[in-house]
Amino acid sequence: MGSTLPLFPEAASTQAGNVDLLYFFVVAVSAFFSVLIAALVISFAVKFRRRQPDEVGAPITGSLALELLWTIIPLMITMVLFVWGAWVFLDMARPPRGSMEIYVVGKQWMWKVQHPDGQREINELHVPAGRNIRLTIGSEDVIHSYYIPAFRQKIDAVPGKLTTMWFNATKPGEYHLFCAEYCGTKHSGMIGKIVVMEPDDFENWLSGGGGMSTSASGEKLFADLACNTCHLENSGGRGPVLGGVPGSLVQLADGSSVIADDNYLRESIMNPQAKIVAGYQPLMPTFQGLVTEEGLLQLISYIKSLPPASSQTSNGAGH
Amino acid sequence: MAEHAHDPHAAHGHIAPISMYLGVFAILMVGTAITVGIAYIDLGFMNTAMALAIAVTKATFVVLYFMHVRWASRLTWVVIAASIFWLLLMFFIGMTDYMSRDWMGVPGR
Amino acid sequence: MHAEHSTHGHDHAHNPNLQHHFMDMPHQQEASTLGMWIFLVTEVMFFGGMFLAYIVYRTWYYQGFAEASHHIDLFWGGFNTVVLICSSLTMALAVRAAQLSNRRGQIINLILTIVLGAVFLGVKGIEYAAKFRDNVVPGRNFEWHGTDAVGAQIFYSLYFMLTGLHAIHMIIGIGLMLVILWMAWRGRFDASYYGPVEISGLYWHFVDIVWIFLFPLLYLIGRHAPLTF
Amino acid sequence: MNSAHAPVASTTPPVNYLNATHGIKSWLLTKDHKRIALLYLVSITLFFGLGGLFAGLVRLELLTPQSDLLQPETYNKAFTLHGVVMVFFFLVPSIPAVLGNWLLPVMIGAKDLAFPRINLLSWYLYIIGGIMTLAAIVSGGVDTGWTFYPPYSTSSPTHVVLAGLGVFVAGFSSILTGLNFIVSVHRMRAPGLAWFRLPLFVWSHYATSLIMILGTPVVAITILLLAAERVFGLGIFDPARGGDPVLFQHLFWFYSHPAVYIMILPAMGVMSELVAAFSRKNVFGYSFVAFSSMGIAVLGFVVWGHHLFVSSQSAYMGLIFSILSMLVAIPSAVKVFNWTATLYKGSISWDAPMMYAIGFIGLFTIGGLTGVFLAVMGIDVHVHDTYFVVAHFHYIMVGGAIFGYLGGLHYWWPKITGKLYNEYWARASAFIIFVGFNLTFFPQFIVGYLGMPRRYAMYPPEFQVLNVMSTAGATVLAVGYTLPLIYFLYSLVKGAPAPANPWGAKGLEWTIPSPPPTENFLVTPVVTEPAYNYNPGREVEVAGR
């Protein structure tokens, strides 16, 4: 954010350097081939220009060796690019363990953020420098896309499911936040800023806010929606006990199994009949329309904070 | 086109006996009956597989005999094969996404 | 390539049905048959898009699909399957009659084909009316008494799109057959010129094939495990 | 097919396809593929003007960072209609329906396409679809973007259904054109015209037609499902009803990525013709160029997922789509290298069509290489849905497809109309378009990597300088596009009559009068030699170096 004619974006995350290096490499390859082709075309077109009106070109039909050459060399280059690009991508896709988890919800036309300790912001995101941050992103209405150019990171916010982004900001400062997927009238107004702070400043900022932590809000919602009547250790076994479920492998009634990630937890609340846990009846009603996307994220945060079920052998989830 | 020796007056085409049409008709009827019957037996995932296998068989008979493809040019065979190939390509690649969505264990990746 | 070139190979009498840019009748018929086959390829892909959606949602919402499939009437579905297979037979026989220059055979078989097609549509109407009566039409007071209303609604959405577009193809097919019947009535077709009968027949059989797949995929999901709700 | 290279003097034949019959009915009910091509030419030009108008509005609004000229509602409609009109009503039909329709039967030595009535029907479907879309525009417009992504398109208050059904109907026009081409190439070739004697223009149109018949039905059903979801409240893509919006994206791009090849493959066919004709030389590596068209058509169907790298598609599927997208770059590269090699030891003349051809090679190279950036997953995460993508596909669509279209139009204009246009103005306009194009779109690569998202009515002020450059370029481009319209129309009135073969080029179309009679060939031609045979009897294969 600054000069009048920037030609290259600021790089402010650990991943940005990897992306830029790859980008420069592809730019170099492209420049080489563009200049090569342009030079050949122009020099041929000048050197072999027509001198007599009835002149014809030389009868050259082709060359297998040349065809192979210009098939195999580009193929090898693109394979290198694929591997390098995949490597950079996989690093960007997989958040490291122990990342600080922040929940983001997109709706027309704003970004709502919940920090674990209860701070909330709209169209801003405060994060400490030098820490792995994991964003879990949902959408309340249409598809949006959470895009931070300075971090070279982007992921769509898709209604009906949760998506994930992670980054590690390197430089304190303010950076653009854009919605990159067209989402209606004020799409270009769905922007904001990422504020990267020194860890100490961030602690100060956090303590300035307050309110209930996300999981505490989730606990309250858990009670308000009467989830606790079925899903806690002392609630009679009508539904699976939820402590320790997140991240575990859940056996389903149809014989298959599934890893209980955030999307599984989300689906189990919104469409409980989709995956029935082995040993339970399909009794749970849907909470579609009864709980907002933010509420869902709070519930998930709460479920994740529950201690593992003490003695139960049942490791089911959600219903 | 050179493979056909034309009689310039008659449009060419295989004329099959009525008994063949009736035979194919009987196969289709029996196939329908089997499809319904088999649906009531619990075969696990084989239920769907069997239903589709019977449907494919029935469709093959219709294509080969009612639609005269058995006697049609190689080009017709190529056209049909291409349509099946592209259809399966769309199903296969489309479903590969749905089947592999949970593999990474990162929501939305 | 064709052997005869110069002008259009006029070494034989001109069939009045031969268009000026073809060399002879087989040439014209080959082209129109190939054209219909290629059109059927587009039809395969057209229905294919819906079938991909069907596969995705059937794996997601098997419970809802099975419940909804139990709710639709197997009797009428089976009945209609039989009707369509019969109509395919009469259609094939109509083409055969044309190949043999048998005008009466064409007319009888085409009328039977049209009647059977109309019966199919009538039965479809009965089935649709039942859906409206039971309030299982998506987007219009959809009520579901089973466990998976979401899956059932998606099933019915696909049900109406698949059978609805199939029915529209049937209506077009019947319209086509009426034209062919009129032409056959006027004695337009014989062994030297029956292309229109043949390619309309290809279309009719294709519509039949679509139903051959729709029947088990819509009516027979999980029939072996009766659901109680 | 004798080997006279000097322009053969000939006068316009007294009776030709243009004046064989008279009256508006003789045009609107014509079954002559050449007249249908002209119907397309006129209607496509109108839609191009309309799409260009919307592009102008978009560029003017982007002069300033605020949304001051247009409100965001209006801006969103402007870019949507620019996309819808340009993609479905200009680019997809442009070369196939105008040049392909006119030339394909002539190049295969036929009197007409296999199904002349269906050919006319496809023009009417195009017009009906166009009118439906125009009705949507007049009654208030559409604001979903040309991609119609749900759930926004399910909830948008604008005329999505009408515009969508317009695209649906126009899609069938495209299907019928493809069907006609395929049957014609299989069944209507002249005696002796074996597959490997076909001009590469025919090969590329054959490949294009494959995509038209295999891909278009899928987008048709997708749009129909979307319309049903809006009108009847069915639940198929809407997540609120349990649907998956990403499924729409899969189905949509199953067609719409190959549709890019519908736009560029015919232009590549034109390029092969131009490069050969203006070097007076056979195309280097004919069979490699022919097969690369088929390779692009087939591989083009398995790369669609690179539009979904950040859409929550499975990451593993993303890897597969990434490597497949890399593969589709290879046949395009093969074509570029072969065209370049064709120039070697040619007899190159810098006529206006050749200027477009040379411009095409350069711009398509940049467009193709920046496509590789987008197939590289690590880079695509950053540049996806930014102006980098916008710049990339305009290098393909404008620098490729439109350069091919204009180049072809100039090359065959004397044949189509029987008139010569003003060569000086033609060269000038080719140069102006080249400069204007680069000024418009090159800055967008930079602003895209900086992070400016597409479809933004407002943007941060630091992006302004690059956007102003882009708008300035668009102005130059508009001038460049207007010039051909003027001198082409002028040539119809005052242009000198064209000889049968003004360029001294090879090909069946240059053996018949300009303009030709309705039935093209009075005597069915017999082909005895390969295409582009400028040196009969002197075929040499150079050894690899």
B94 shares its domain with B49: no
Once rounded to an integer, what is the mean pLDDT over residues A32-58?
A: 93
Instruction: Report if residue D542 sits inside a domain.
Output: no
What confidence score (pLDDT) does residue C225 get? Answer: 73
Q: Report the distance separating Cα C116 and Cα A24, nearest Å.
A: 68
**Residue B55 pLDDT exceeds 50:** yes
The predicted-structure confidence for D126-170, as pLDDT tens digits, reads as follows 999 999 999 999 999 999 999 999 999 999 999 999 999 999 999
Q: Name the nearest CA neighbour of C4 among D522, B1, D103.
A: B1
Q: What percent of chain B has pLDDT over 70?
A: 88
Instruction: Report if residue D504 sits inside a domain.
Output: yes
> What domain count does chain D have?
1
Instruction: Report if residue D14 sits inside a domain.
Output: no
The predicted-structure confidence for A70-82, as pLDDT tens digits, reads as follows 999 999 999 999 9
Q: Give the range among A103-117, A293-307, C97-111, D280-294 with minimum mean pLDDT.
A: A293-307
Q: How far is A155 from chain C (nearest CA, A)?
A: 23
Q: Report the distance separating Cα D30 and Cα D449, nearest Å.
A: 51
For residues C23 and A162, which has the higher predicted lDDT (pLDDT)? Answer: A162
* Burial tier of D296 (Cβ tally within 10 Å: 0-12, 13-18, 19+): buried
Q: How far is A64 from chain C (nearest CA, A)?
A: 29
What confidence score (pLDDT) does residue C88 get? Answer: 96
**Residue B79 pLDDT exceeds 50:** yes
Q: Report the distance separating Cα D207 and Cα C44, nearest Å.
A: 19
What confidence score (pLDDT) does residue A309 get? Answer: 67
What confidence score (pLDDT) does residue B106 get? Answer: 85
B22 shares its domain with B68: yes
What confidence score (pLDDT) does residue C8 get? Answer: 42
Residue in A254, A274, A276 closest to C61 by CB = A274
Domains of chain A: 14-45+63-93 (no CATH), 100-208 (2.60.40.420), 214-305 (1.10.760.10)
Q: Which parts of chain D register pLDDT below 70?
A: 1-12, 537-545
Once rounded to an integer, what is the mean pLDDT over residues C72-93?
A: 95
Taking an 8 Å cut-off on Cβ atoms, the answer to whether D250 and C158 are in contact is no
**Residue C78 pLDDT exceeds 60:** yes
Residue in A156, A163, A258 closest to B107 by CB = A163
Instruction: Report if residue B24 sits inside a domain.
Output: yes
> What domain count does chain C have?
1
Q: In what order do the strands lie in the sheet with A120-122?
A: A120-122, A110-114, A100-107, A132-139, A163-168
The residue among B97, B101, B104 with the most chain D CBs within 10 A of its CB, best to mutate, is B97
Q: Name the nearest CA neighbour of D271 among D362, D376, D207.
A: D362
**Residue A101 pLDDT exceeds 80:** yes
B58 shares its domain with B86: no
Q: What percent of chain B has pLDDT over 90?
A: 67
Arithmetic mean of pLDDT over chain A: 88
Instruction: Report if residue C17 sits inside a domain.
Output: no
Q: Report the distance separating Cα D169 and Cα D174, nearest Å.
A: 9
Instruction: Report if residue D524 sits inside a domain.
Output: no
Taking an 8 Å cut-off on Cβ atoms, the answer to whether A286 and C150 are in contact is yes
Give the contacts of A64 (CB within 8 A, at least 6 positions apart). Answer: D544
The predicted-structure confidence for B57-77, as pLDDT tens digits, reads as follows 999 999 999 999 999 999 999
Give the model's confidence band at A237: pLDDT under 50 very low, under 70 low, under 90 confident, else very high: confident
Q: Report the distance separating Cα D117 and Cα D125, nearest Å.
A: 12
Once rounded to an integer, what is the mean pLDDT over residues C93-98?
A: 95
- Percent helix, strand, coil in chain A, to 5, is 35, 20, 40
The single-letter DSSP state of residue A285 is P
B37 shares its domain with B57: yes
**Residue A260 pLDDT exceeds 70:** yes
B66 shares its domain with B101: no
> What domain count does chain B have?
2
For residues C26 and D270, which has the higher predicted lDDT (pLDDT)? Answer: D270
What confidence score (pLDDT) does residue B2 get? Answer: 37
What confidence score (pLDDT) does residue A311 get? Answer: 47
ipTM of this complex prediction, to 2 decimal places:
0.91
What confidence score (pLDDT) does residue D15 get? Answer: 87
The predicted-structure confidence for D382-426, as pLDDT tens digits, reads as follows 999 999 999 999 999 999 999 999 999 999 999 999 999 999 999
Q: In what order do the strands lie in the sheet with A144-148?
A: A124-128, A192-197, A173-179, A144-148, A153-157
Instruction: Report if residue C171 sits inside a domain.
Output: yes
Instruction: Report if residue B100 sits inside a domain.
Output: yes
Once rounded to an integer, what is the mean pLDDT over residues A137-154?
A: 95
User: Which range of residues forms the domain containing residue B67?
Assistant: 14-72
Instruction: Report if residue C139 sits inside a domain.
Output: yes
B20 shares its domain with B68: yes
Query: What does the radius of gyration of chain B's CA atoms come to, in whole angstroms?
Result: 21
Q: What percent of chain A has pLDDT over 90?
A: 55
CATH code for the domain of D97:
1.20.210.10
Instruction: Report if residue B47 sits inside a domain.
Output: yes
Angle between helices D352-375 and D387-396 (to 10 degrees): 140
What confidence score (pLDDT) does residue D6 get? Answer: 41
B67 shares its domain with B106: no
Owner of token pair 């991943």: A15
Residue A259 bridge partners (DSSP): A249
Instruction: Report if residue B3 sits inside a domain.
Output: no
CATH code for the domain of C119:
1.20.120.80
B68 shares its domain with B18: yes
**Residue B27 pLDDT exceeds 70:** yes
What confidence score (pLDDT) does residue A2 get? Answer: 54
Instruction: Report if residue C159 sits inside a domain.
Output: yes
Give the model's confidence band at A302: pLDDT under 50 very low, under 70 low, under 90 confident, else very high: confident
Q: Report the SS3 class of residue C148.
A: coil
Instruction: Report if residue D57 sits inside a domain.
Output: yes
Q: Which residues of C162-188 are buried (b: 16+ CB within 10 A; e: fewer)?
A: bbebbbebbeebbebbeebbeebeeeb
Residue in B89, B101, B109 closest to D302 by CB = B89
Instruction: Report if residue D534 sits inside a domain.
Output: no
Give the model's confidence band at A6: pLDDT under 50 very low, under 70 low, under 90 confident, else very high: confident
What confidence score (pLDDT) does residue A19 get? Answer: 96
The residue among A163, A248, A258 with the most chain B CBs within 10 A of its CB, best to mutate, is A163
